[in-house]
């Protein structure tokens, strides 16, 4: 069974500070339809903690997150 997630949009925010990452996620999600999936790629270690908190507060859902050592991937589903 293939459980690969196919995002509707991908944001590669490698090298961006956490505050800018959150701002760009918010902008991207605003333009997406309900049920769509946004993949976010980051390198700022703070995002590992801040993105899940922000996503929960914003009413969206993290359906998967992957820690690849120095790269973090989040798959965020819009309500």
The residues assigned a catalytic role are: 18
Residue 43 has phi, psi (to 5 degrees) of -125, -10
- Residue 50 phi, psi (nearest 5): -75, -40
Non-local CB neighbours of 16 within 8 Å, separated by 6+ positions: 24, 42, 43, 44
């Amino acid at each position: 069974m293939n459980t690969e997630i196919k995002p509707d949009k991908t944001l590669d925010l490698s090298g961006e500070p956490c505050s800018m990452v959150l701002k760009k996620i918010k902008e991207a999600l605003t333009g997406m339809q309900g049920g769509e999936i946004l993949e976010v790629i980051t390198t700022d270690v703070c995002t590992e903690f801040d993105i899940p908190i922000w996503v929960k507060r914003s009413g969206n859902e993290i359906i998967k997150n992957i820690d690849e050592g120095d790269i973090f991937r989040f798959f965020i589903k819009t309500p």
